[in-house]
Structure 1
């Protein structure tokens, strides 16, 4: 564990220039992270792999709804309830795990979450009753829903602001590949092997991810290891490092830091309300709301996709699973390309506003217009998403050739993923030292809005048809544009105010300890 002095210096170095009105510190020789580029790529791969399971577990379930209902002797409506409860839990649990990861480290929380996920999948594969299905789906969600929040925390630990867009883009490849692959995998497994093998598949693949993290995911949390130069101890240490360094090294580290670790554990009990408190911060709420709006509207577009193609174009279930591929390909391309674009935008804004490019690469300087750097390109993304969503609805309603709505789906996938990368990067920028907690706040908003939106989707489709239904959702997307203007204009003032409050609170806490 890092000492209290080292931890304070590490967090203040990144956080103070962003939130508090301080004079920029001179550049020093200490690197932001000691992890090599090769090791960072490995860390990104593992976090993206873990994040892949959160949406996969939801989308792989859809093609198996009818077979599961038949196998358990219940109605499709009751099985659909397992989807709703999955979403509800996915909005609650990350608030606990995200805050815990910011305090006790990323590794222990990853291991706990994936262990729960593995056990839940084995139980789902073996169960024979509807109550067991309902409960175990909630346990499954509890285990895996926090992995995306944990991934954003790791990105904040190892990536400087100038490269954070690319890192978020690469990390997002995992969660973005799951929605198109999930229905295809679920449909094929359910048709060929039976629905129970869907959960065996998730258990096996999740077990591989758990093993890789236990063996070789290094601890990155800055309160624990600083920039990576402070040795980790206990559960924060990888099995590979234990085998390489030997038991003696571990005992010396543990003995030297035992008292600091004990105090830190006592002060680090997870606070699930921490992520809810961030919802009250005005410089964050607009971002969290727009991110939630995009997620909820995209969830409705994707939730209706297979059923609309079955109804309108006469597709079979397996064919209907394949229609998710264009959306997924667009999202994959966007996640990678848009992250690099955000990094280039960051550099251009730094030069345009007279900031030292070398210093801006390392950390956010006082007065740096981070909202402009991240959001000035968002208007194109929002506009194109709104137009393409509306066009998709009318293309389906008018029964145009199937290539037309599928091509539009690829556009929606590209622009929506670009929005998620943009919002996710800025939310991480604005919350150094507690990025997992902030990502959990985002998850609370988007899960709540998605659950509400998907609940009213079918009634809207039945009442007004696909054309007007997705015109409504296109209008909902468009509401984010004026909110972005508001964020760019007023966000810096709110951010500065929040920084002053947090600095005063931190000083008061220090005085009480003394």
Structure 2
């Protein structure tokens, strides 16, 4: 009995010694599995280029990327002054030739959803190279087109190539700059989407007038070629995730985790369900769409009430473009200061309120001054305020969503780009119907009320954004 009891006691004692280790082992395994992704992200700073490049080199790379980002917006509008000549060349209708504009806007809004996914999966550099090469080839195709069908197809491919930087560029900003520097950098990068649509008609009008519409595309081809060379020699891979994968591939650890392609491609669409993204980008999408409303209506207003020539109308867009540039850069600087004072991403959104105030003012001033033919300086001042308001709204909005989803910066920016392009594609269709019905003054006043009301989205994003940003379901 004593032996049996001793044996039983010995077994119990042995189990008591063994079980804690076994339990700890199981717990460690569970913790390891749960934290695997977190640990993988936590060590990305070891591969980040933020602290390995000089500030001068960062800004040089950003300048090249911004030039690539400028291609898409300027190409969308540069041949608008030559539409009549293009229609005559191809012996087609207004509806058909206008389809080249609508198709371009649609493609440039949609394709960044896919470019963003590929950049996060395969790297930024390869996407810049491939997309710019595609843009050059398609632009040559536009210049050499002998039928309207081929011209439309080449415009679609041109938009596909030009659209990549609209999303991938935001990822490069996140790769290169710390949070306290991103606002200024993002503001500089986003100058392209703002001033491109304004500069395009000015340049296109003069090129078409003196050397013909085909040379518009040859000049764009030369610009694309210059950017391609700069990217090829001076833009390295900047994604920490890609650099880490390459490091692992070169080591003894041959297995590299790669999520399924369909899951990667779904991310930009998933962001359409995230309240943090929707509420932060809605004010900018509205502002950008209303800017295109102005772009579509301005020629008729200036020619009717001020008897401006085509070249004078083109130069008038500079008032809006100047406001855009000032607003984009200024809001970037202010949002960086805001993030330094209060180190939370939502601090950037406070700068948007300046745009929410200034944008409606510009819309009202431009609308009523143009309708009653008040001195053209007052009309141009309204255009400047309108552009300033759009710029002040844009940079903080885009920088904020990149801050809260830094790992998926390209994907979330492609989502914002889609919303922006949908708005910009819709409002020019409304202008020819609304303005003749109620006048430019009341039309712009309605837009001003909507712009002011978008401040509700800013308020909600500031209040609940930090909570909504924690929702990473399906990502």
Structure 1-normalised TM-score?
Answer: 0.80
Determine if the alignment matches structure 1 residue 294 to structure 2 residue 287.
yes
Unpaired segments ≥5 residues, structure 2: 1-34
Determine if the alignment matches structure 1 residue 196 to structure 2 residue 210.
no
Structure 1 residue aligned with 2:160, among 142, 164, 169?
Answer: 142
Partner of 2:364: 390
| Aligned counterparts of 1:131 and 1:307: Cα–Cα separation in 2 | 30
| Aligned counterparts of 1:146 and 1:474: Cα–Cα separation in 2 | 32
- Superposition deviation, residue 475 in structure 1: 1.6
Partner of 2:112: 94
Partner of 1:64: 82
Partner of 2:430: 456
Per-residue CA deviation, residues 202-229 of structure 1 (Å, 9 max, x unaligned), is 1110111011111220101121125xxx
- Superposition deviation, residue 282 in structure 1: 1.6
- Checking the alignment, whether the CA contact within 8 Å between 1:93 and 1:145 is kept in structure 2 is yes
| Aligned counterparts of 1:29 and 1:220: Cα–Cα separation in 2 | 9
- Superposition deviation, residue 267 in structure 1: 4.7
| Aligned counterparts of 2:365 and 2:96: Cα–Cα separation in 1 | 33
| Aligned counterparts of 2:48 and 2:80: Cα–Cα separation in 1 | 49
Residue aligned with 1:35, SS:
coil
1:20-169 alignment, distance < 5 Å: 32-169=50-187
Per-residue CA deviation, residues 169-225 of structure 1 (Å, 9 max, x unaligned), is 121233333233211110111001100000001111011101111122010112112
- Checking the alignment, whether the CA contact within 8 Å between 1:184 and 1:321 is kept in structure 2 is yes
1:223-372 alignment, distance < 5 Å: 223-225=241-243, 256=251, 259-260=254-255, 263=256, 267=260, 271-350=264-343, 368=344, 370-371=345-346
Structure 1 residue aligned with 2:191, among 156, 159, 173?
Answer: 173
- Checking the alignment, whether the CA contact within 8 Å between 1:10 and 1:222 is kept in structure 2 is no
- Checking the alignment, whether the CA contact within 8 Å between 2:281 and 2:398 is kept in structure 1 is no
- Superposition deviation, residue 8 in structure 1: 6.1
- Checking the alignment, whether the CA contact within 8 Å between 1:307 and 1:320 is kept in structure 2 is no
Partner of 1:374: 348
| Aligned counterparts of 1:429 and 1:315: Cα–Cα separation in 2 | 45
Q: Which has the higher contact order (CA 8 A, sep 6+)?
A: 1
Cα 1:493–1:71 shift into 2, 3 Å: same
Residue aligned with 2:53, SS:
coil
| Aligned counterparts of 1:330 and 1:49: Cα–Cα separation in 2 | 19
| Aligned counterparts of 2:295 and 2:204: Cα–Cα separation in 1 | 15
Partner of 1:445: 419
- Checking the alignment, whether the CA contact within 8 Å between 1:102 and 1:434 is kept in structure 2 is yes
Cα 1:324–1:7 shift into 2, 3 Å: farther
Please tell me whether Structure 1 or Structure 2 has the larger radius of gyration of its CA atoms. Answer: 2
- Superposition deviation, residue 13 in structure 1: 6.1
Structure 1 residue aligned with 2:401, among 427, 435, 438?
Answer: 427
- Superposition deviation, residue 327 in structure 1: 1.0
- Superposition deviation, residue 273 in structure 1: 2.5
Determine if the alignment matches structure 1 residue 486 to structure 2 residue 460.
yes
Cα 1:32–1:128 shift into 2, 3 Å: closer
| Aligned counterparts of 1:293 and 1:73: Cα–Cα separation in 2 | 36
Determine if the alignment matches structure 1 residue 399 to structure 2 residue 373.
yes
Cα RMSD for the two superposed structures: 2.5
- Superposition deviation, residue 313 in structure 1: 1.8
Partner of 1:364: none
Per-residue CA deviation, residues 433-474 of structure 1 (Å, 9 max, x unaligned), is 110000101111111222222222211112111111111211
| Aligned counterparts of 2:49 and 2:249: Cα–Cα separation in 1 | 25
| Aligned counterparts of 1:205 and 1:222: Cα–Cα separation in 2 | 30
- Superposition deviation, residue 30 in structure 1: 8.9
Structure 1 residue aligned with 2:448, among 465, 474, 482?
Answer: 474
| Aligned counterparts of 1:73 and 1:215: Cα–Cα separation in 2 | 43
Cα 1:31–1:321 shift into 2, 3 Å: closer
Greater shift after overlay, 312-321 or 40-49? 312-321
- Superposition deviation, residue 296 in structure 1: 1.1
Residue aligned with 1:279, SS:
helix
Structure 2-normalised TM-score?
Answer: 0.87
Unpaired segments ≥5 residues, structure 1: 16-27, 234-252, 351-367, 506-514
- Superposition deviation, residue 14 in structure 1: 8.0
Cα 1:95–1:30 shift into 2, 3 Å: closer
Cα 1:294–1:258 shift into 2, 3 Å: farther
Residue aligned with 2:278, SS:
helix
Greater shift after overlay, 107-116 or 280-289? 280-289
| Aligned counterparts of 1:82 and 1:216: Cα–Cα separation in 2 | 34
| Aligned counterparts of 1:450 and 1:422: Cα–Cα separation in 2 | 19
